[in-house]
């Protein structure tokens, strides 16, 4: 009889938020991950509360805290769904502790590139502005369309999200725009961004290639936040044991 492999200890940054709670609710489906730390801001009303109870499950014994544990020996993996102001220091904590990180927080800006490169020399960092499978397919189709259509088409990227989303355009729109520029082969293609924020829309993206006499339209919609949470947990499992480096969702999708 072989003993089951030990579960990997998991930390969640932003555990009290919409995404963090969604991840907590799905965790029971991922027995190879064991929650070890649930983090939020120091001023959060959630500090000290049991994270399982906060997520509407039974108590799990892991309380919400603003403190990264002094001893991280039993944490192998972290998910970050927090805010840009916290995400870079979270990244540095993970690098210093040798903890693999899925960086799901968006709106980080250009200043984040260097700390991500620095951290990815020490740990595997999966930069994942969108962890849904369908959005990965949208990315791959947009790349192919851009390469096939060339620079004679203007590109319009449109995203719609709930009123609580802080960044605009979305991280997904920005990633699509960059991928399209690369696929066309340079900055010659004109890419415009529009965003709408309101209500409880989980996430919609539309890519349009507007040419002379024709246009191509690709779109993707998420109606349930659990799609992001499940994608994040699956991607995080994939990240365990990878050598240090910077990874993207495309690496995982292309490997499949």
Ligand X SMILES: NC(=O)c1ccc[n+]([C@@H]2O[C@H](COP(=O)([O-])OP(=O)(O)OC[C@H]3O[C@@H](n4cnc5c(N)ncnc54)[C@H](OP(=O)(O)O)[C@@H]3O)[C@@H](O)[C@H]2O)c1
Residues that bind ligand X (CB under 6 A): 14-20, 40-41, 44, 46, 81-83, 85-86, 104-107, 128-131, 164-165, 167, 228
Write out the two tokens for 79: 């998910």
CB of 6 to ligand X, least distance (A): 27
CB of 155 to ligand X, least distance (A): 22
Residue 204: partners with Cβ closer than 8 Å, 6 or more residues away = 158, 159, 160, 161, 219, 220, 221, 222
The C-alpha atoms of residue 251 and residue 256 are separated, in whole angstroms, by 9
Find the catalytic residue in 36, 158, 162, 165: 165
**Catalytic (active site) residue 256:** no
Phi then psi for 180, rounded to 5 degrees? -65, -45
Find the catalytic residue in 36, 161, 205, 220: 161
Question: In this complex, which beta carbon is closest to ligand X, that of residue 44 or of residue 63?
Answer: 44
End-to-end CA distance of the chain: 30
CB of 153 to ligand X, least distance (A): 27
- For residue 37, the cross-strand partners are 11
Question: In this complex, which beta carbon is closest to ligand X, that of residue 37 or of residue 184?
Answer: 37
Kindly give the interhelix angle for 171-184 and 133-149, rounded to the nearest 10 degrees: 30
Question: In this complex, which beta carbon is closest to ligand X, that of residue 83 or of residue 157?
Answer: 83
Phi then psi for 157, rounded to 5 degrees? -120, 125
**Catalytic (active site) residue 205:** no
CB of 180 to ligand X, least distance (A): 19
Question: In this complex, which beta carbon is closest to ligand X, that of residue 153 or of residue 228?
Answer: 228
**So which residues are the catalytic ones?**
161, 165
């Amino acid at each position: 009889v072989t003993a089951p492999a030990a579960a990997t200890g998991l930390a969640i940054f932003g555990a009290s938020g919409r995404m963090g709670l969604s991840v907590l609710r799905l965790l029971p489906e991922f027995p190879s991950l064991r929650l070890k730390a649930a983090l939020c801001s120091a001023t959060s009303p959630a500090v000290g509360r049991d994270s399982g109870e906060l997520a509407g499950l039974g108590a799990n014994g892991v309380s919400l805290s603003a403190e990264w544990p002094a001893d991280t020996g039993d944490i192998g993996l972290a998910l970050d769904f927090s805010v840009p102001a916290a995400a870079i220091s979270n990244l540095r904590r993970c690098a210093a502790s040798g903890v693999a990180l899925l960086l799901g927080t968006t709106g980080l800006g250009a200043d984040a590139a260097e700390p991500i490169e620095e951290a990815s020399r020490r740990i595997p960092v999966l930069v994942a502005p969108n962890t849904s499978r369908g959005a990965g397919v949208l990315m791959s189709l947009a790349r192919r369309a851009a390469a096939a259509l060339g620079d004679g088409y203007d590109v319009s990227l449109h995203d719609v999200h709930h009123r609580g989303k802080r960044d605009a355009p979305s991280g997904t729109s920005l990633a699509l725009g960059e991928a399209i520029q690369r696929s066309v082969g340079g900055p010659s293609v004109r890419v415009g961004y529009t965003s709408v924020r309101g209500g409880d829309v989980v996430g919609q993206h539309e890519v349009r290639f507007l040419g002379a006499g024709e246009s191509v339209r690709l779109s993707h919609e998420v109606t349930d936040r659990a799609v992001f949470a499940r994608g994040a947990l699956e991607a995080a499992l994939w990240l365990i044991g990878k050598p240090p480096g910077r990874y993207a969702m495309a690496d995982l999708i292309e490997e499949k």
